[in-house]
Amino acid sequence: MDKKDAIAIRLRDIKKIYKMGGQELAALNGINLDIKRGEFAALMGPSGSGKSTLMNILGCLDRPTVGSYELEGKEVAHLSDDELAVMRNKHIGFVFQNFNLLSRISSLENVALPLVYAGVGASERRKRAQQVLEAVGLGDRAEHLPNELSGGQRQRVAIARALVNNPEIIMADEPTGNLDTKSTKEIMEIFQEMHGRGKTIILVTHEPEIAVCANRQLLVRDGVITRDEGKGVVLDVV
């Protein structure tokens, strides 16, 4: 198989069932999905559709009740918490709507945090963190605290943190949800640049104008994927 056609993520018959007072609620009800390396996929769906549950499973933050999840060729559906953490740190960088930056440390120190967990030495951490800050246009803001930055700048710091371990996959949960129009455009340009460099990107959004930036759009309703469209199709989420 050609490297660019290799499968980064493969889900088969994924179900997530919650038990509530003697009743069973299926948040995911039989998801089958392949995402190729280098693909840019937008995950859409109304509130309660199951898209957040699916994102948590894709990101190795949760496990399915049943089904198979192969991440870069390794079955991860039923790993322990510690084993899932290892897979997360090795393969996935996360970007969140609320940035999730630590307020009392600098931009550079925030970006370097994943390298601390990976056991990288202090001087190498600073060097790599500075490099990715420069890559997102914030090389001159390395020593600023998060509250000294605009929302768009904070999200760029969060993207730099996601990139610092050089993961194959970037997962972004409503990354433009708290940003103005100008910052949203700039952040989406960064995602498109990452895609151009071969990163696999999975982005959760409820905004069709954000989703059309991806080359694939997946609509989740009632715990299943109901539509799987290519670039340029505007999906109605409501």
CATH 1.10.510.10 is right for the domain spanning 3-230: no
d(CA 117, CA 45): 33
121-133: average pLDDT? 94
The predicted pLDDT at position 1 comes to 43
pLDDT at 236 over 80: no
Burial of 223 (0-12, 13-18, 19+ CB in 10 A): buried
- Is pLDDT of 9 > 80? yes
30 has pLDDT over 80: yes
User: 28-44 burial, b for 16+ CB within 10 Å, e for fewer?
Assistant: beebebebbbbbbbbbb
Model pTM score: 0.88
Q: Are 155 and 136 in contact (CB under 8 A)?
A: no
* DSSP, residue by residue, 38-72: T-EEEEE--TTSSHHHHHHHHTTSS--SEEEEEET
Average pLDDT in the chain: 90
Neighbours of 7 (CB within 10 A): 15
Q: Where are the domains of the chain?
A: 3-230
Q: pLDDT per residue over 66-107, tens digit each?
A: 999 999 999 999 999 999 988 988 899 998 888 889 999 999
pLDDT tens for 130-189 read 999 999 999 999 999 999 999 999 999 999 999 999 899 999 998 888 888 898 898 899
